[in-house]
Amino acid sequence: MIRVRGALMWSLSRILESPEVPKVFIGSFCVAADKDIKGEIHEIFTEEYVDFFDELKLLPSATNVRKLNDVIKRARKLKTHAMIMESLLRQMWWKSRGELKRVVNAPNLTRMWEEYKYRLRIADSDLPDIQWAVFW
């Protein structure tokens, strides 16, 4: 039995929206197979079975950590969005649609994104997509 990753995981990454890599097993379950192969397959399945139930036991305590991480991620995105909006509004002399188009353009936003990443040590994942911001 082989734990498959590589190309299979690459092709499945478009379908599965999960940060963890799923485990995929391939094996021969033929009755005429050697006893050694059956022993290896049985051993791997037993280890994975035990690991699965260990993770299942820890699930209630892990939900609090996951919820806290989600709140932290949302707070970072909110902080970044507020700083970007404050900076854009400071650059506007008059609050009109034409002035908004002058301020919100790709070169200006790219410069602002780079400045925030450097000055505030913000990760790329915390910043909104520039193409979406220009479209908006």
Question: What confidence tens digit (pLDDT) does each residue in 43-88 have?
Answer: 878 888 888 888 888 888 778 888 898 999 888 888 888 887 887 7
Please state, in angstroms and rounded to a whole number, the distance separating the CA atoms of residues 39 and 36.
5
Higher pLDDT, 127 or 132: 127
Tokens 């707070």 label which residue? 75
Read off the pLDDT of each residue in 90-113 and give the average, rounded to a whole number: 74
Tokens 């033929």 label which residue? 30
Band the pLDDT of 1: cuts 50, 70, 90.
very low
Q: Is 108 helix (H, G, I), strand (E, B) or coil?
A: helix
- The letter for the amino acid at 101 is K
Q: From the CB of residue 120, how many other CB atoms can be counted at a distance below 10 Å?
A: 11
The reply to whether CATH 1.10.268 applies to domain 2-135 is: yes
Confidence (pTM): 0.50
Q: Where are the domains of the chain?
A: 2-135
User: What pLDDT score was predicted for residue 71?
Assistant: 92
Asked if pLDDT for residue 38 goes beyond 70, the answer is no
Angle subtended by helix axes 35-91 and 106-120, to nearest 10: 110
